[in-house]
Structures are given as C-alpha cells and as structure tokens.
Structure 1
Amino acid sequence: MPMAMGVEEPDTVRRAAEGGFLERRFAANAATAAITAAQAVSEAVAMRELEAPDVDKSFIAQDIGSERVKTVDEEGLPLVYDKALIEKYWKAQGSALQQRWTEFLGLSVPFLTKMVGMLITGGTGELQKNEKNLAEDARIIIEKLGPTYIKGGQMMSVRPDVLSQPVLEELSKLQDAVKPFNSSVAIAQIERELGQPLGAVFTEISEEPVAAASLAQVYKAKLAATGEWVAVKIQRPSVLSVVSKDLYVLRRAAEVYQGLMERFAPRQRTNYVGLLNEWAIGFYTELDFTNEAKNQMKMRELLDKEDVSGVYVPQVYEDLCTRRLLVTEWIDGKKLSQCEPKEVRELIEVGQECFLTQLLKVGFFHADP
C-alpha cells in the first residue's frame, strides 16, 4: 500500500519490499533460465556428433565375441552397444528422436524449475525440508520416462554414499513398483521366441507375472517334458528400440553438459561422457538374455567346482533361451530384507566366501547379469 504524502517510508519496510520483489524476480528469472537452457540443449543435441571409445575395444567385447559387435537385429538396431550404428538408425527415423527429447523436457523441466525456485527462495534448507516430496516427484517422473530411466533410478537407489536416506527410500520403490505389461502380449511374445505354441513346451503357466522389472517380467511355468517348475523371463516389447533411443539422447545431453563444465567449471574433472558410455555398454548388454544365460551357467559350474557352501545357482534351460527369453529352474526364496537379523549375519559370511571365491580364485565375478 503506498505511503501518505509527506511521510518517509521506513528503511526496513522499503528493504523488505525490495527484497520480496527481487526474490520473486530471481525466481522468475531462474524458471526462465531453466527453460531457456533446456531449449538450448535441445537444439545443441540435434547438431552435435557423438564421440566415444568404440565398443569393440571395451571389456564387454572380450566376452561376447567380436563377430557380434556389428550385428544388428531385424529392425537394424545393433545387438551390442555401438554409437555409430545407433546414430545411423535413429537419424533415419525422422522426428522420433525429437519427440522423445520433447517428452523428456516436458517431464523434467517443471521439476527442475520447482527445485530452482525452492533453492532461490529458501536456499538448501528449503530443498531439505521438501526432500521427501521432491524425491516422490522424481520417482514418478522416472517411472513415466520408462525402462532406461527406471534402471538408472534402481542403480542410484543403492548408493547411500551419493543420496540421502529419504531419496533412497523413494527410489527403492522402483525395484518392485514397475507395472507389468499385458499378459496376452507376453504370452504371444513367448510363443514367438519359442517358435511353437505355449502348450507344446509348458503344461501350466501363471496367468499373471510373478514379478515385473524395467526390462522384463517373469512367469512361473511347468515344463511339459519333465514336469519341473521353471521361471520364464520375457523381455518387454520394443525395449531395445526404447533403450537405444534413450541412450542416444542421454549421450548427446552428456556431451553438451561436459562442454558446459569444461567451459564454466574447468577444475571439475569428471568425465561424464565416459561414465555414461561405460554404463550404456553394460546396460545394453543386459538386453540380450543369451549373455545372462551364459553367465549364469558359468557361475553355476565354477561354484560347484569350488564347492562353495550355502550358494545355489539355478539351472538354465539353454535350448529354450533366446535374446528375449530366459528359462531357468524355479527356486522358492525370500528377500534379504525379509530375513531375521540372525539369518542376515549367517548370510553375510556365505556372501563373503562366495565373493572372495569369485574375486581371488576363479577370476569370474557375477553381478547380475
């Protein structure tokens, strides 16, 4: 309200008014800056070329065989992470990449703007006060963005050295809260992978999945040939296409961010592009279930040979496995979080023996997959 004529406005009132105005102005500028930055990144990622070490020089290529490094699937997507082949494929898909980038910005920019507004108006204390709600918002956004981001969120949910407890608790929901895809679609995909009707291989199969994850879901079934119960893991439809596109977009964004860091924070030495590249190579490898099958069979053989007590690796039915389908022995069990403290202490000793055997004796470490 304006002051009466001839009455001088007190300094405290004036400073408070100016402070409120500046605070609102800074918040508005921050929001505008976030949107402008997002638009700039959007334009930049459409023009920059990808730069990364070739996959055939990575640790992954040593295990999968050089003949598979340049192999593509029926759609033209590489079976092994290859930046050049992925770039070639998506450049030929018209506006698909831009649509995905727009979707990413549409979900992430409002969240980032909200965080910036809190930081400007209330500092880090305001962020900490709203940490739980922000973590929930982030988890919902991750779920909407799909398997690539869910996988990244799951990875971060076990990093107490990086994130606070409220954030870890929220991200841990990504471990079990992934929605399954339609079972009729899953059954049709299982039959395509088997190359024969479901009844020719299984006499029974659960109507709904017993578990759903970011890349696949699992059904419990009984083998027609032996009557044994098995776990049938089937990949989500089009997951290779979705993941390759997301990795492409993330890789470009990382290059832009790396350039900004080198320009404005030259003392910051983290190689974000290299980190993302290594994660992408390993993550992409998980999309081929034949790798998981081979690793599981090798671990089963090695631990049996070393007579490691307390550890059992389920049998793999290799003749039923494909790139998108994994069939293994069904084992009933429970999560470590459901065990009593005494059981946990006993299992820690078992885990230590198993870990050291892999690390020091057999030279093969299994980290799923």
Structure 2
Amino acid sequence: MVAPMFIFAASAFVGPVQPIASIPAVPRGASPQASLQLVEYSAEVPYKEAQYDPVAADAFFRARPMAALRRLVQLTSTSSGFVFSLVLDKWLSREEQMAERRSQELCDLVTKLGPAFIKIGQALSVRTDLLPAAYAQGLTRLQDSVPPFSAVQGRAVIEAELGIVLSEVFSDISLEPIASASIGQVYKGTLRSTGEQVAVKVQRPDVLYDVSLDLFMLRSLAPSYQRATKANTDLIGLVDAWGEGFINELDYGKEAEATTAFSTAMSQRGLRSVTAPEVVPSLSSTHVLTTKWVDGERLASS
C-alpha cells in the first residue's frame, strides 16, 4: 500500500522550482531597502495568502507548463531511488523486514521534498489507517527534524517585511534560528527599547509559490492515481482539505489575531493559567510574527 501511495504523493512535491537567489550577508546597519533587494520573491503567485483557490491555481500553472515540467523532472530524480527500493522489497517479499529502515528513508526523503510534503507527512504520521504503523511512526520525526533555511535570508526577510534595521530594534538577536518548521523558523531576540525577550517567527521565502505548485501537481495527478489503484477515496477533496488548511497558515496576520483572541477568551473565563504568548503588533506582518518570549517544553517531554 505504501508504494502506490508514495508514488502518487512523490509526483507532487520536491524542492523549490524557483529558488531564492544567493543572498550575501546583510551589512551591519543596512537599510530596510537594502534588505528588500536581498529577498527575491517570485513575481507572481496564483492566489493570495489564506485564500486557497484550486481553480485559479489550475489556470495559473497551466499557463506556465515549464514550471510543472521542471517539477516533474525533479520529482523523478528525487524519489526514484526510494520508489525502486519499495518495489524491490515487494518483489523479494521482504516488506515487513525492511519496514523500519524504509520508514527512516521516507522521513529523510519527505524532508528533502519541501514544506508542503512535510506538512502532509505530518498529517499522515497519525493515520495508521492509511500507512503501516512503522511508516507512520517514522513520519513523526518530521515534527522535529526540519532543516532551516539561510539565516541571512531570514534576517533579510525581517528587515524587509517590517521596514526596520535589526540593530536599531534589537539589542541582540540569535545568529541562527532556535527552531525550524515546515513553513518558517524562529529567532530569539531582545528588544532594545524595553529589554524584553521576544520570539521572531519568519516565513520561508517563496513558500506560497512552492506550495501552490505542489498542490496543483497533486490535484492534477489524483484522477490518474485513483483510476490506476481503484482507490475508494475522494483524493481531490483530500488534497483540497490539506491545501485550504496549509494556505491559511501562511498568513501570520491571521495567526496573530487567533493568538490574541485565544488569550482574551481564556482570560474572560478566568483561566489565567491557560494563555498564549503576547503578540507584538508593531513587529508583525503577513510573513513575520513577533511574540513575547515564553519558556516551556513539549507535552511529550513533560
């Protein structure tokens, strides 16, 4: 079951088709305009953040067939080795013996494939009805093992998005991210004006374009996969459900509103021990979210 499902998924996700240009170090005291020149976003996207529209994406990418073709070539070269291993395991009747090893390889491959595939992998990590237990367990590592993007890019995004010079707003900020997830990474800083510690979450450059293309590819291949496997599942509907939730997460402005609303609701109910980090609105935007720093630990570690 894993092989056909993975072949279908792997035919939709890989690293960025339009990679960010190499970004030099941001000079100390550089202006926000200089940082903006260091951050190269795709000129066009099929739809705005938090407005998933598969019809618009279909028209957008069908008018750009070379983007889909490049993606398909990347998919083949990136996933063919793993898929061949699955086929060989089945042919040699050793699927159960190799399951743990393949689950580790699957996790590594999904990480290489990019943010959208990572997000789907995280969703599948709890779906033992769709994946064997060993594969689902392997995908749980995606919660912690997402490699960061360039710290120089991250700093450039902060300055360009907020229109600030880091050294003027922060007395210090971590050189490298302290945490990295599928669509962004977090830096720890200290505000020069108040001395307060804050967490600054920065979105990966061009993630909207990359995810949009991934979802378009997945939707396009869903009917062929369904016919070939006679899968009794609305695959397009499943992709759209994933897509709507994922695209919604790309608007950090909505996340800021939800965070503030949650804290307010808990306070009104007298649950002051249940809260969320306070948002710093003046240092937040669609692609950057700054909150007061709160020490804590994962529930799994408690």
Compute the TM-score of the two structures, normalised by the length of structure 2: 0.80
Q: Return the alpha-carbon distance in structure 1 between the equivalents of residues 126 and 232 of structure 2.
A: 24
Stretches of structure 2 lacking an aligned partner (at least 5 in a row): 13-41
Give the 4+ runs in structure 1 shifted more than 6 A: none
Paired positions, count: 264
Is 1:283 the equivalent of 2:254? no
Rg larger in structure? 1
Structure with the higher fraction of residues in helix conformation = 1
Is 1:235 the equivalent of 2:203? yes
Q: Return the alpha-carbon distance in structure 2 between the equivalents of residues 220 and 316 of structure 1.
A: 14
Report the identity percentage.
Answer: 35
| Corresponding position of 2:33 | none
Q: Return the alpha-carbon distance in structure 2 between the equivalents of residues 161 and 84 of structure 1.
A: 30
Instruction: Select which of 326, 343, 367 maps to 2:289.
Output: 326
Q: Return the alpha-carbon distance in structure 2 between the equivalents of residues 139 and 153 of structure 1.
A: 8
Give the SS at the match of 1:214: coil
Give the SS at the match of 2:92: helix
Stretches of structure 1 lacking an aligned partner (at least 5 in a row): 1-33, 43-72, 340-369
The 5 A counterparts of 1:72-87 are 75-79=44-48, 80-87=51-58
Do 1:258 and 1:273's aligned partners in 2 also have CA atoms closer than 8 Å?
no
- Matched to 1:151, the amino acid is K
| Corresponding position of 1:171 | 139
Compute the TM-score of the two structures, normalised by the length of structure 1: 0.66
Do 2:111 and 2:146's aligned partners in 1 also have CA atoms closer than 8 Å?
yes
Instruction: Select which of 215, 218, 221 maps to 1:250.
Output: 218
Do 2:277 and 2:291's aligned partners in 1 also have CA atoms closer than 8 Å?
yes
Q: CA RMSD in A?
A: 2.3
Do 1:296 and 1:313's aligned partners in 2 also have CA atoms closer than 8 Å?
yes
Do 2:199 and 2:291's aligned partners in 1 also have CA atoms closer than 8 Å?
yes
Give the SS at the match of 2:185: strand
Alpha-carbon distance, 1:164 to partner: 4.4
Alpha-carbon distance, 1:284 to partner: 0.9
Q: Return the alpha-carbon distance in structure 2 between the equivalents of residues 329 and 168 of structure 1.
A: 34
Q: Return the alpha-carbon distance in structure 2 between the equivalents of residues 160 and 229 of structure 1.
A: 40
Do 2:45 and 2:208's aligned partners in 1 also have CA atoms closer than 8 Å?
no
* Cα distance change, pair 303–160 in 1 and its aligned pair in 2 (3 A): farther
- 1:153-185 CA-to-partner distances (Å, cap 9, x unmatched) read 122223455444432342122111111112111
- 1:87-113 CA-to-partner distances (Å, cap 9, x unmatched) read 233234341111112211223343233
Give the SS at the match of 1:95: helix
The 5 A counterparts of 1:133-282 are 133-160=101-128, 162-261=130-229, 265=230, 269-282=232-245
| Corresponding position of 1:343 | none
